[in-house]
Amino acid sequence: MPITKAVVPVAGLGTRLYPAARAVKKELFPVVDRDGTVKPVIQLIVEEACVSGIEQVCLIVRPEDEAVFRRYFTETLPADVEARLADSGLVRAVERVLELGRHVDYVVQPQPEGFGHAVFCARSWVGDAPFLLMLGDHLSRSETATPCARQLLDTFDRLGRSVVAVKRTPEEWLHLFGTIGGSPLADMPRVYRVTAFAEKPSVADARARLRIDGLEAGAYLCFFGQYALTPGVFEGLQFAIQHDVREQREIQLTSALERVRQAEGGYAYEMQGERYDVGVPDGYARTVVAFART
């Protein structure tokens, strides 16, 4: 069954970007896109989902933020502003935002209990079908003509099992990312059968059980920020919530991925593209520079 729905959690606190994130949610931080238009991060994410064939996107929002996101994706321009923008091409840019908005739904996460908890909030919206999950504070740039999300969906279509997008990542960054252990599939380039998921592993743990044949020394496969998942992940998340399985005080996705892997098997796809973590100061700076350069 092809994936047509995407979930994007945007209900985190974004404390690593304080004090700015007290004023503006990190998912609304501005980025200058390659056409010179200034867009909030969330718009770039929804655009990538839609050009990749997704029909409906669900934003998981904090109760007090729902109106902010809704307004951005639905509010038409007041006549005086429209008149001022008339010759600039920006009226069309705003119309495109409203067109995208027709594909966006909203579900509230009552408390910021963690990324995994936010995903669980989408359970009824997703229903009994596979879905695409995209981090709300990560952007991507494909190295091919195929957008990153589409590359992942194509891989899911071939395997019919959960696939996590990954990226070669140096050892010193392991504290920032979920990481996999696994082995490459002989008949599918860039695809790995996962043998373990670990959330932000220590270097010692990674050296002991997450090394991957064929990767250069000191490199690991860490999450890219996009996942194509079967609805089985909600069972894993429900277990984590019921048993209060927390990592760094939060209900995370990784333990649920590990449960799905044990039940159904799991795969990883090495993305042909770059990931940009907007949720940390260096990553945001890197994003702004890279996108402006096109």
* Shortest Å distance, C-beta 217 to ligand UTP: 29
Where b means 16+ CB within 10 Å and e means fewer, 1-33 reads eebebbbbbbbbebeebeeebeeebbbbbebeb
Among 3, 7, 14, 58, binds ligand UTP (CB under 6 A): 14
* Shortest Å distance, C-beta 242 to ligand UTP: 17
Among 12, 40, 147, 178, binds ligand UTP (CB under 6 A): 12
Q: Is 182 in the site for ligand UTP (CB under 6 A)?
A: no
Residue 146, classified by CB atoms within 10 Å of its CB into exposed (0-12), middle (13-18) or buried (19+), is: middle
Distances (CA, A) of 292 to 17, 31, 34: 21, 8, 6
Among 41, 45, 60, 206, binds ligand UTP (CB under 6 A): 60
**Pick 39 or 117: Cβ nearer ligand UTP:** 117
Q: Is 135 in the site for ligand UTP (CB under 6 A)?
A: yes
Distance from C-alpha of 59 to C-alpha of 9, rounded to nearest angstrom: 6
Among 112, 193, 258, 291, binds ligand UTP (CB under 6 A): 112
Distance from C-alpha of 274 to C-alpha of 235, rounded to nearest angstrom: 31
**Pick 199 or 270: Cβ nearer ligand UTP:** 199
- Contact set with ligand UTP (CB under 6 A): 9-16, 27, 60, 109, 112-115, 117-118, 135-137, 279
